[in-house]
Chain A
Amino acid sequence: MDNHTIFRFIRPGLQTTIQDKGRSGYQHLGVPQGGVLDKHAAKIANWLVGNNEHNPVLEIPLAGPSIEITGKCQIALTGADLSATIDGKAIKMYRSIKVKSGSVLSFGKLISGCRTYLSIGGIWDIKPWLSSFSASASNIEKMTPGSLMNKGHFLKVKINKFIPKRKFPKSERPVFKSSLSIRVLGGPEYKEFPSAFIRTFFNQSYQLTKQFNRMGCRLTGKTEGYRETREIISSAAIPGTIQITNSGQPIILMNDAPTTGGYPRIANVISKDSDKLAQLKTGDKIKFILVALEDIWKT
């Protein structure tokens, strides 16, 4: 018998997808870069099971799957706490876990954050598309078949030799707060907004609406001082860009956002804070802090 372990999805979860570092390099042809939203969580998850840091992982938002595991394996969970259990027994996050054949891995109540990352030690039996295993941003079943978990779906992994147990120190694990500050740089159209609106933008806490996914997060807040700017000729839109829609409300673009857009770009989230966006959910509060490009790499 080969050393493949089968993961069968008894319940698929809300939107469980395979993700890796994404497919940057095709944006000029309209292909979003995609990839894991919380890069740090995915990297640690892979480290915990001895994988390369860019190995694919499962990204599990809000409501997790139920997975029947046939064959043994070593797994790890990082990111959001989704009350994971194996055969009904709670398991700890941020450490390598050996799983026996016939076990069922399930997820329950969301305790903190938004997205859990599940790594499996070994080589995943999946096909890349444009040099990435990440689920496509659109038309998933046609472009990247098998990257979105459906009921009854099978995932096959050729299991590596188990590594000695690893644990990621508690003191270094992120704490997911429901109210947070996000550092931004002024965006390309920053100077075109009325100063009264710029004040509104930075002086308030925005709230994340129900409309958020891997493409973008719509926020809601006060619009005092907002006035429509000139019409923008469409130009590139990159993850972390904060656009202001015609109603004066912000949208933060995420990894699966279309590669171009026509809304004015007020600000851009700095790379160091982008992982935090991945763990936001409806109702969470965000305050934007303006920083200078020169200061980012000092801290």
Chain B
Amino acid sequence: MIFKPFGDSALLIEFEQKITTEINQMVNALCKAIDNETITGIDICIPAYCSVTVLFNPLEISYRTLCRQISNLDFKISKKTIVRTLNIPVCYHKSFSLDFDILQKQTKLKKEEMIEIHKNGTYRVYMMGFLPGFAYIGKLPEALHCKRKANPRQNIPAGSVGIAGQQTGIYPGKSPGGWQIIGRTPLPVFQPESINPFLFKPGDIIKFHDISIDKFRQISNDLSTDKFNLNQIYG
């Protein structure tokens, strides 16, 4: 771990700068260890792919003391660590998948093959950012790696599933965005007015399930009439 001052009120802890499950598990384990230790003066830990940023109040704890306390923490990845698995239904129907034509040129794969590869992966939430509730989910199998759009779309509907580089993600609300769109989930990824507005959190394991357009409509309908039990997606 490398410790770096990040302004006068934050500490950046860098692991080996690589995107791997193991390193990201270390990131989450460290955040957890810091949270459990309740060190006075810490505001929040922000995990990313292979780094943790710790915001602190320099009037309550010095940078040096903070570094010392964190380097003394005993943390490891254990099999006992409880990790959530979320099963996310995705409809890859042509009315939602806007970019399969472009992707065919880039990946040389047929639409059905791309769907197969996307839905069969087991992914993790490496980091959250860009917009409230937006999860950077990876790693995408190499066959699906693609470029961002040269000209980002101005309005991507909420729930749209996109891919870019080695990542996949779901747009939490209507927003601009440059990822290639391959489908949509009926689930609410982000509900600002809810007590728990966020579907994802860093470290979650994600699996995608292919659903038909009829199933998509049914789930949307059930959600709007409160008949859909969100607990069923956790497995």
Contact = CB atoms under 8 A, between A and B. Distances in A.
A142 B130 CA distance: 17
Given A139-B173, A143-B192, A233-B19, A241 B45 contact: no
Interface of A: 24-31, 129-130, 136, 138-139, 142-143, 185, 187-188, 233-236, 238, 240-241, 258-261, 265, 268-271, 293, 296-297
B129 A30 contact: yes
A234 B175 contact: no
Interface string B1-44: 00011111110101001110000000000010000000000011
B88 interface: no
B132 A235 contact: no
Size bracket of the B interface: 35 or more
A129 B197 CA distance: 10
Interface in B131-155: 131-136
A28 B44 contact: yes
B202 interface: yes
Interface string B93-109: 00000000000000000
B53 interface: yes
Contacts of B50: 233, 235
24 contacts: A24-B44, A26-B132, A28-B44, A28-B201, A29-B201, A30-B129, A30-B135, A138-B132, A139-B173, A139-B174, A139-B192, A185-B7, A233-B49, A234-B48, A234-B129, A236-B10, A236-B12, A236-B48, A240-B7, A241-B6, A258-B129, A260-B129, A260-B130, A296-B8
B8 A28 contact: no
A187 to B, nearest CB: 7
A31 B134 CA distance: 9
Contacts of A130: 197
A261 B48 CA distance: 10
B86 to A, nearest CB: 15
B74 to A, nearest CB: 22
B91 to A, nearest CB: 23
Contact of A293 (B45, B47, B63): B63
B160 to A, nearest CB: 15
B203 to A, nearest CB: 10
Nearest to A265: B6
A138 B131 contact: yes
Closest 10 A/B residue pairs (Cβ): A260-B129, A268-B7, A236-B53, A30-B128, A143-B192, A235-B48, A236-B46, A31-B132, A235-B51, A30-B132
Contacts of A187: 6-7
Interface in B44-75: 44-51, 53, 55, 58, 63
Given A234-B127, A236-B53, A238-B53, A28 B12 contact: no
A188 B133 contact: no
Nearest to B5: A293
Nearest to B10: A238
B208 interface: no
Given A28-B44, A259-B129, A233 B5 contact: no
A238 B7 contact: yes
Contacts of B175: 138-139
A164 to B, nearest CB: 31
Contacts of A143: 132, 192
B6 A268 contact: yes
B157 to A, nearest CB: 13
A233 B53 CA distance: 14
Contacts of B10: 236, 238, 268
Contacts of A241: 6-7
Which of the listed residues A139, A143, A185, A260 has the most CB atoms from chain B within 10 Å of its own CB? A260
Contacts of A24: 43-44, 55
Contact of B49 (A26, A234, A261): A234
Contacts of A236: 6, 10, 12, 46, 48, 51, 53
